[in-house]
Amino acid sequence: MEKKLIKLEDSNYEIQVIFTDEEKENAQKETIKVLGKDVKIPWFRDGHAPINLIEEKLNPEYIKMGTYEYLINKWLHEVLHENPKIKFIWEPYDLQEDDKEKKVSVKLDVYPEVQILDDKRKSLKMGKMETKATEKEVEDSLINLKKNYAEYKDTDKVEKDTVSKVSLDFLDKEWKSLETGTVYVWEQEFAESKFYDIFIWKQKDKDLELDYKEKDLPHTFHKRKSEQVPAKIKVSIKDIKQIVLAEFTKENIQKLFPDQKEVTDEAQLKDYIKAEIEKQKQDSELVRNIEEYINNIRDKSMKIIIPQTLIHQEFQSRISSLEQRFGGQEKLTEYFKQLWDEKSKEFVEDISKAAQDSLEKFFILQKITEELKIDVDRQKWWQLEVEKKLYDKIMG
């Protein structure tokens, strides 16, 4: 059996096996033995019937594929043993067979290596980080925090500081209901569109009638299920709640934030919020700087080709995360079905591109840390440990 290991351009190798008729015949016999273990042949114990009788019971395509896999697998294991310095990713793919040439081959990806193109990256700097929290940012965060712990009390009319539950009934020209729905109207809606001002001062259980002109309506007022275009929307205010913001007294702070022992009043709470905003700003500014730095280097000073095996693994990881966010595989599948075919295809392509982009940045970042001899605690990688040390190194 002649064996060849051919390096390709896409971070992969092609492994070829050129076999003899005798080697193929032996491989076929071994394949039939394996596939025939559970084949029932009258008068014979399982797996002990003559090869020709077992072969008659098996799908010829299974035998053919199994034979080629047997021929190639023996050499694949020798590849790992004979080439310990090549970092193979053990997921063979693209099995090709050629009976005429008596040849079978597969491809095997390797962990990619960053190619250095020039030294211009050594003169690159990063931008300074603006991390100070403004008074407005602190106040806005405090208000949002108070909203999180707000109480909701019944009230009789809609105002901009209320939240209203609104029912929608989509009607055809004969006033027949096509579909119904529910929306909630509160501060965000009033800020986004003047349309919602029609609810100001309206009382509970008061109905409104709107012409269904889709271009003039917010997205939440568009039909969802009906194929027929409605003529009218009957809008009814079912419930109105007054938003009463929480008061951050000493007692409330101790109750709501038991882990923050150093925070005992609203002034200290604002100091704590300011520190948290500045920490978040520092992290986001750091990530932005590193992103720009890597993007300036990628394809100019450094180049890398990510193999399909790694892209597929990262893609599957992102799909799994999406499934968790959507509440399971079935719900994600249902979401895809709701999209147009073109949109669904674009969505999947975007995930694949994001997976490749993320991997390219990861390996380039890893190469830079090796070049600059940056000592990295792998257990703190997720805490932006690498990014912080790289920024300090580049900025001196």
E strand intervals along the chain? 2-7, 12-18, 93-98, 103-109, 115-116, 151-154, 162-171, 177-185, 207-211, 232-244, 302-303
Are residues 95 and 72 in contact, defined by beta-carbon separation less than 8 angstroms? Answer: yes
Residues 218 and 293 in one domain: no
Task: Supply the pLDDT for residue 381.
Answer: 63
Its domain, for residue 237, covers 151-244
In a domain, residue 256? The reply is no
Residues 231 and 277 in one domain: no
Are residues 127 and 289 in contact, defined by beta-carbon separation less than 8 angstroms? Answer: yes
Full pLDDT tens readout for the chain, 396 residues: 788 899 998 889 999 988 888 988 888 888 888 887 777 777 777 666 777 777 777 888 888 888 888 888 878 888 888 898 999 998 889 989 888 888 999 999 999 999 999 998 888 899 889 999 999 999 999 999 998 899 999 999 999 999 999 999 999 999 999 999 999 999 999 999 999 999 999 999 889 999 999 999 999 999 988 889 999 999 999 999 999 998 999 888 888 888 888 899 999 999 999 999 999 999 999 999 999 999 999 988 999 999 999 999 999 999 999 999 999 999 888 888 877 778 888 999 999 999 999 999 999 999 999 999 988 776 766 778 899 999 999 987
3-state secondary structure of 232: strand
User: The tokens 């895809």 sit on which residue?
Assistant: 336
Residues 192 and 298 in one domain: no
Task: Supply the pLDDT for residue 396.
Answer: 77
Residues 378 and 276 in one domain: yes
pLDDT digits (tens, 9 = 90+) for 295-323: 999 988 999 999 999 999 999 999 999 99
Give the residue from 79, 110, 141 where a domain finishes.
110
